[in-house]
Amino acid sequence: MADKSAFDYVNEIWSIANYVRDVIRPADYNKLILPFAVLRRFECALEPTREAVSRRVAKGAWGDDDPMYCALSGHCFYNVTSFTLSNLGATKTCDALMAYINGFSANAREVLQRFEMRQTCEKLDEKGMLYEVCTRFADFDLGPDAVSDRMMTDIYEHLIQKYGEEISQDAEDFMTPKDVARLATALLFANEDTLLNADDGAIRSLYDGSCGTCGFICDALDQLDEWHEKGHFKSPTKIVPYGQELEDATWAMGKAALMLRNIAGGSDDVLDQMTDLSAGIMRGDTLDDDKFAGRTFHYQLTNPPYGKEWRKEQPGVFDEMKNGFGGRFGAGKPDIDDGSMLFMQNVAAKMAPVGEGGGKAAIVLSGSPLFNGDAGSGPSSIRRWLFSEDLVDCIVKLPTEIFFRTGIATYIWVLNNHKPDNRKGYVQLIDASEEKTPLRKTQGNKRYEVSEDQAAWIVRTYVDGHDHGKSAMVPVEDFMFRKVTTQRPLHIFIEPKGSSVDELFSLNAPMRKLTESSRDVLSAWAEKNEGKSLEYSDVVSSVEDIHKKIEKPKPSKADLVAALVKVFGRRDPSAEPAIDAKGNPVFDPELKDSENVPIGMDIDEYMASEVLPYAPDAVVDGSVVDEPKLDKKTGLTSNPLGDGEVGIVGTSISFNRYFYRYEKPREPEAIAKEILELEDGLSEFMRGFLS
């Protein structure tokens, strides 16, 4: 056996991939490398108790699926065969391997079968390679004491980094690095004194709606164990994990990781050892197949896929949206190509009620949920609902280039439905974009990590509620505004020209349907008034007569006026403001505009200070109001929190507004001098090169 401290698990395991590459496609590596790693890990964990289980099996007192075997195995799973990867035999290896797998308890068997490894193993067996693969894996010590959950996750991450697109387009969305997971966990449990300090054996739930390999959950459990060990607790709070994952292989990896743990960390309690912590890890699509309908949780940690299209889930999501706030997605419908705000609504819906201790969540997201969507849109309405419920506690801007598969800016949102009084109505923004340490070796797109000291600074800043150069406590109203529509009168002269009259008859369907006789009426009017500059009111009067003369089918009077203005109109501020036949002002569509009025500010005051000094004739369009709207086609209600007031409420969160620092441009003379020096240096280099 290789020395554990020096053994390179990832490369040694991946040397097996090189061995089988002529038989197994890279797209199928997840059906070989991952299940064998998990199988060997199970095998190593069971090794100390294998003889005890075998003796009990030999007596034949219990059935193969009797959970009492767990008391002997010391885990929530077991195996009733005499097989190991080292004794399957060089002939009929695949049959022996399948018998070995079928000898596991139902929970472990389901995990191993989910990898769909049989066909892959049959191919290797035909080529006489399966026995070699089994014996190579048998030489690896992958037991929980030798290889941590995080190290096992590294194997999967290595697979995704090299073959993610071939294996699954969704598999690479986006595995949470350990430093980010630990930071999010620390933020989640910051200020949670009951959880961290209780010594009464209380039980709390932890949920991840896009749990992947359960790396987030395992890192969180590890971190909690570390904290509890420091406190020397006899019966610390126990965390029961729950999660849901769509991808089969990813789900199986996560399920396996939790099967090797017990509910009380290092407890020697037999009942705890038999408890299957993976029982709450479900397979399925969280968006349209919620396995925890009606359930809520004390804590949540999740890193949902960025920019995930949810077209496939749309029918199920729409059905739930029709329930309004009785379902998970009542606040709004995000763009079809980015479902991250659906996951955010799922998190909010699954927070334990305050009467049950309340819920708290840490979510890792891209930048788009901060600001995407116009006023009244789905994303804006979702933020509005989060603000109205006062759920957003803190948002931390992370450094770029800290994820394996993307270098984009990412953020940790901390949601909390039981904020302390001094934080109610506020959102803390923390700019931690410079809190990063370069890695010695780049890992995919990951060039930096958040060190323990840097993470500690971020958490202290959050706990203390600091308001300094890199942190701001912002009232939620600062992120909200009313998008008010403004209009300005139409100032226009209408100057008919016979040469342009044919343009009238191609503008729209009503004008195209005019008969020849009707067209002659309009042509005669244009020729009669050619050379004149008519006011808008003159055209309105003329249309009264024209409308009587033309034949059916005929456009409405309003359509006729609009056509004449469009073809013959010339905007001129000296013209009288246009009014229609009823004496109402006519607005210029080209001057239609909007203003974002801060929530709480009087609209008239805003207009007086920000608009009227530059456009004295501008008025607020009172017909544009903030109200819910029912889409008859889909049956969905948009802008559900509409209050009926003038101006549509919008929301947006801008870090630059609070943390932007102006840097004075360099002096032009200094830049010019530098360019000349570079040119001189280049010329000298070229002379030396050519001489």
CA-CA distance, 290 to 209, in Å (whole number)?
A: 9
Residue 186 has pLDDT above 80, yes or no: yes
Mean pLDDT calculated for residue range 28-46: 88
Mean pLDDT calculated for residue range 318-324: 95
Tens-digit pLDDT profile for residues 217-257: 988 888 888 888 887 677 788 899 999 999 888 899 899 98
Residue 170 has pLDDT above 70, yes or no: no
Q: Are 490 and 579 in contact (CB under 8 A)?
A: no
The residue assigned the tokens 């009244």 is 376
CA-CA distance, 640 to 396, in Å (whole number)?
A: 28
pLDDT value at residue 382: 98
Q: What's the one-letter identity of residue 220?
A: A
Please report which confidence band the pLDDT of residue 570 belongs to, taking 50, 70 and 90 as the band edges: very high
Residue 11 has pLDDT above 70, yes or no: yes
Mean pLDDT calculated for residue range 257-263: 78
CA-CA distance, 205 to 545, in Å (whole number)?
A: 77
pLDDT value at residue 5: 43
Residue 141 CA: distances (Å) to CA of 9, 100, 113, 119, 148: 9, 19, 22, 26, 11
Tens-digit pLDDT profile for residues 329-354: 999 999 999 999 999 999 999 999 99
Spatial CB neighbours of 43, under 8 Å, sequence gap ≥ 6: 79, 84, 85
Q: Are 287 and 313 in contact (CB under 8 A)?
A: yes
User: Percent of the chain beyond pLDDT 90?
Assistant: 67
CA-CA distance, 79 to 56, in Å (whole number)?
A: 11
Cα Rg, the chain, nearest whole Å: 34
Asked which of 26-35, 251-260, 509-518 is least confident by mean pLDDT, the reply is 26-35
Asked which of 186-195, 229-238, 477-486, 627-636 is least confident by mean pLDDT, the reply is 229-238
The residue assigned the tokens 């544009």 is 624
Quote the mean pLDDT of the chain: 89
Task: Give CA torsion, residues 139, 440, 26, 403, to 10 deg.
Answer: 120
| Angle, in degrees to the nearest 10, between helices 215-231 and 178-189 | 60
In DSSP terms, 396 is beta-bridged to: 412, 430
Spatial CB neighbours of 640, under 8 Å, sequence gap ≥ 6: 324, 325, 330, 331, 332, 381, 385, 628
CA-CA distance, 237 to 201, in Å (whole number)?
A: 5
Q: What is the pTM of this model?
A: 0.86
Q: Are 299 and 164 in contact (CB under 8 A)?
A: no
What string of DSSP letters covers 43-77?
A: HHHHGGGHHHHHHHHHHT-S-TT-TTHHHHHTSS-
Q: What is the DSSP letter of 609?
A: I
Q: Kind and range of the H or E element at 631?
A: strand 629-631
CB atoms < 10 A from the CB of 648, how many?
22
CA-CA distance, 399 to 202, in Å (whole number)?
A: 36
Name the residue among 237, 234, 241, 227 with its Cα closest to residue 268: 234
